[in-house]
């Protein structure tokens, strides 16, 4: 029933945008007309029906290529080949795309090494020393979830399996553990500055804005600016802090906590035995290895510092080159006019070129090189420390690295297909046609809210937040900019609407992912916590829905109409705390 409600809502909202398409004639500016919306519609529709993102994306690309071939009989076969040898190949071969893939692989490899050499468990051991009460155990779980910020899978598996013995001893329900694990995984990974999600998100943003005429923005800066408008991830984390800090629960979670604390049954009665027997095999440290926190902390810090340093290095070189270019132009001007003597005074007086702000440096940086450099240094240091301490041999280190990198292949496939679909929609002019339909019908201020709900419905039905972002970001970002232009709102002062739209896709994807019983992170959270999966979904759903509604009412909706984020966020935080305080009850 819930699935039907979400699907119906999704199709209704989609109809608001695309409904008039079939009733209108083809636009003169777009020869493909309503056909241009078929590939993304088919990709979304099949994802809803099949609950599989990769086949849905592939089908969308194929239909798009067939449309370009004119829907001829032979064109179907030609389109199938074009899908692989043109659109997918070009998506892989594009240098920035390849940079994102390389970064994702390097980070995955580093996670594999620091898990195998005991570094991850070393961090865990440091934290759980203080977890000797119910409140401290839950706080330690949250702290670990925030500390292992760089990958949601690593977060879920390590935190759930490590904290389960502690929470069981203190009579904390498995449902509560699964909730704490799940709500500090994807929400943190999607907004942290350096994670396995960053390359994916920045790559999609970059691809979405690259083909927009008149929009010259750094993709990483768009991502950074969108964090302030990522209302659901921030409010979901706030909900966790409120529940733990106030010691209150509501809905089915309160009943689960009451059962665990009073009756001593930490696991729900429907739990499947031996559910997580082999879940942690790939991330357990080697036998006999001493678990040292520095084996994970130093590579992670090296990666973070490497990325930041790379941003400053590439950005400073770019801004310095621009400054030197201006100096050269002025030299030529003054020399040509025999005013060389006043050159130095003029350059010293012009602080707009002599002083380079951090924003200018970061805005001119090459995020792809920086991400590769940081993750490369982190991987190499992790391997070097493992070998130097004899925790792992060279062969074991390489094997662990490949094990971590291999775990990222599914995400990479989704990313490549999403890029390919974006290339198809670009050829077909999908965004232009959508704008021709709704440019005068939809106020840009409503778009963040609409996109947020559509993204949530898609992620709920597919169970993939990455797939949702891959489908919607390349489509919604050009649409948002075009709607802004049609309404005369494409100036710098209206960029928050664009940032809010980007954040709405990512936040909505995480929201739907949290509510979905077929979500990978939701399933992993249940398994790592040894909690019945349906019970985890049932107890987490009221919390996720509450945070999502607050994100719409106090976040996406007012932000779309110009309310600053620094007003929306505090009001949203307060609403979450008041809700938990008023509705929640102590066990």
Q: Could you state, in order of their start, the residue ranges of all structural domains in the chain? A: 131-275+439-587
Q: How far apart are CA 537 and CA 229, in angstroms?
A: 26
Which is higher by pLDDT, 57 or 331? Answer: 57
| pLDDT at 16 (0 to 100) | 41
pLDDT of residue 499: 93
pLDDT at 25 over 50: no
> What's the pTM?
0.71
> Roughly what angle, to the nearest 10 degrees, separates helices 53-68 and 409-428?
30
Distance from the first to the final alpha carbon of the chain: 31
Residue ranges in 337-350 assigned as alpha helix (H): 343-349
Q: Report strand pairing: 248-249 vs 585-586.
A: antiparallel
Q: What's the CA gap between 481 and 291, in Å, rounded?
A: 50
- Nearest in space to 427 (alpha carbons), one of 156, 68, 116, 88: 68
Mean pLDDT of 557-575: 94
For residues 198 and 88, the model is more confident at: 88
Q: Identify the CA nearest to 259 among candidates 267, 251, 270.
A: 267
Give me the mean pLDDT over the 220-230 stretch.
91
Mean pLDDT of the chain: 80
Q: What is the mean pLDDT of residues 254-277?
A: 73
Q: What is the average pLDDT across 206-230?
A: 86
Q: What is the pLDDT of residue 383?
A: 94
Q: How confident is the model at residue 87 (pLDDT cuts 50, 70, 90)?
A: very high
Distance CA 323, CA 43 (A): 46
In sequence order, the β-bridge partners of residue 249 are 585
Alpha carbon 494 to its chain centroid, in Å, reads: 23
**Section 240-260 average pLDDT:** 95
- Tracing tokens 């310095």 back to the chain, one arrives at 320
pLDDT tens-digit profile of 364-407? Answer: 677 778 888 988 999 999 999 999 998 888 998 998 898 888 87
CB 516: neighbour CB atoms within 10 A?
A: 27
pLDDT, one tens digit per residue, over 419-475 is 888 888 888 887 667 656 655 567 778 889 989 988 888 888 777 788 889 888 888
What's the DSSP call for residue 442?
Answer: S
Predicted confidence (pLDDT) per residue in 517-541, tens digit: 878 788 778 877 888 888 888 999 9
Say what the pLDDT of residue 332 is: 56
| pLDDT at 412 (0 to 100) | 82
Is residue 475 within 8 A of residue 40, CB to CB? The reply is: yes
DSSP assigned state of 117: T
Provide the CB-side half-sphere exposure for 85 (13 A, CA). 6
Question: Does 325 or 512 have the greater pLDDT score?
Answer: 512
* DSSP, res 391: S
pLDDT at 138: 94
What is the pLDDT, as a whole number, of residue 189?
A: 86
Tell me the two tokens of residue 467: 């797939």
Higher pLDDT, 555 or 423: 555
The tokens describing 525, both together, are 């959270």
Bridge partners (DSSP) listed for residue 142: none
Q: Which phi and psi angles does 248 have, rounded to 5°? A: -125, 150
Q: Say how far apart CA 110 and CA 401 lie, in whole Å.
A: 6
Residue 7: pLDDT over 50: no
User: Kind and range of the H or E element at 562?
Assistant: none
pLDDT in tens, 311-360: 778 776 665 555 555 555 655 555 555 454 454 445 444 444 444 555 56
Burial grade of 380 (CB within 10 A; 0-12, 13-18, 19 or more): middle
Mean of pLDDT values over 221-225: 90
Q: What is the percent of the chain where pLDDT is above 70?
A: 80
Instruction: Specify burial of residue 286 (Cβ count, 10 A radius: 0-12, 13-18, 19+).
Output: middle
Residue 256 pLDDT class (50, 70, 90 cuts): very high
**Can you tell me the distance from the alpha carbon of 5 to that of 329, in angstroms, rounded to the nearest whole number?**
63
Give the range with max mean pLDDT: 14-18, 184-188, 502-506: 502-506
Q: How many C-beta neighbours within 10 Å does residue 29 have? A: 10
Q: Above pLDDT 90, what percent of the chain? A: 27
Region 174-187: mean pLDDT is: 93
């Amino acid at each position: 029933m819930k699935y039907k409600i979400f699907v119906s809502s999704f199709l209704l909202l989609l109809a608001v945008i695309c409904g008039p398409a079939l009733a209108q004639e083809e636009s003169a500016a777009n020869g493909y007309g309503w056909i241009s919306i078929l590939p993304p519609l088919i990709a979304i529709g099949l994802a809803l029906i099949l609950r599989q993102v990769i086949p849905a994306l592939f089908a969308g690309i194929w239909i798009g290529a067939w449309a370009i071939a004119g829907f001829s009989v032979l064109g179907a076969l030609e389109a199938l080949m074009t899908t692989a040898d043109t659109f997918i190949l070009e998506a892989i071969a594009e240098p920035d795309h390849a940079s994102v893939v390389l970064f994702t692989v390097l980070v995955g490899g580093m996670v594999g090494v620091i898990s195998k050499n005991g570094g991850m468990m070393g961090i865990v051991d440091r934290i759980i020393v203080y977890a000797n009460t119910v409140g401290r155990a839950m706080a330690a779980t949250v702290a670990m979830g925030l500390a292992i910020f760089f990958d949601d899978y690593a977060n879920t598996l390590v935190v759930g399996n490590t904290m389960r013995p502690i929470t069981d001893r203190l009579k904390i329900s498995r449902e509560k553990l699964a909730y704490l694990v799940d709500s500090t995984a994807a929400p943190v990974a999607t907004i942290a500055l350096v994670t396995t999600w960053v390359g994916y998100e920045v790559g999609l943003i970059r691809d979405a804005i690259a083909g927009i005429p008149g929009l010259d923005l750094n993709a990483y800066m768009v991502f950074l600016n969108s964090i302030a408008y990522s209302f659901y991830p921030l409010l979901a984390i706030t909900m966790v802090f409120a529940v733990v800090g106030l010691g209150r629960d509501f809905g089915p979670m309160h009943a689960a906590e009451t059962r665990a604390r009073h009756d001593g049954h930490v696991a729900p009665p429907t739990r499947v035995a031996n559910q997580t027997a082999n879940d942690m095999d790939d991330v357990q440290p080697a036998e006999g290895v001493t678990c040292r926190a520095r084996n994970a902390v130093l590579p992670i810090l090296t990666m973070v510092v490497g990325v930041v340093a790379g941003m400053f290095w590439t950005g400073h070189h770019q801004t310095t080159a621009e400054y030197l270019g201006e100096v050269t132009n002025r030299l030529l001007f003054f020399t040509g006019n025999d005013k060389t003597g006043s050159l130095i005074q003029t350059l010293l007086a012009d602080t707009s070129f002599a002083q380079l702000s951090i924003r200018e440096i970061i805005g001119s940086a090459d995020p792809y090189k920086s991400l590769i450099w940081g993750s490369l240094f982190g991987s190499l240091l992790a391997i070097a420390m493992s070998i130097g301490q004899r925790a792992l041999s060279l062969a074991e280190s390489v094997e662990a690295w490949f094990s971590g990198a291999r775990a990222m292949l599914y995400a990479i496939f989704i990313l490549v297909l999403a890029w390919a679909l974006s290339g198809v929609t670009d050829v077909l002019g999908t965004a232009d046609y959508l704008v021709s339909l709704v440019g005068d019908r939809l106020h840009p201020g409503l778009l963040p809210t609409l996109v947020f709900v559509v993204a949530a419905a898609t992620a709920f039905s597919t169970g993939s937040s990455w797939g949702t972002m891959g489908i919607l970001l390349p489509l919604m970002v050009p649409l948002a900019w075009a709607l802004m232009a049609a309404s005369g709102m494409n100036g710098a002062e209206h960029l928050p609407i664009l940032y809010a739209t980007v954040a709405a896709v990512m936040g909505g994807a995480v929201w739907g992912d949290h509510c979905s019983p077929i979500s990978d992170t939701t399933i992993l959270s249940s398994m790592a916590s040894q909690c019945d999966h349906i019970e985890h979904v049932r107890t987490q759903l009221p919390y996720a829905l509450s945070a999502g509604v607050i994100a719409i009412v106090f976040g996406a909706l007012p932000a779309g109409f110009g309310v600053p984020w620094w007003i929306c966020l505090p009001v949203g935080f307060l609403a979450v705390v008041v809700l938990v305080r008023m509705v929640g009850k102590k066990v």
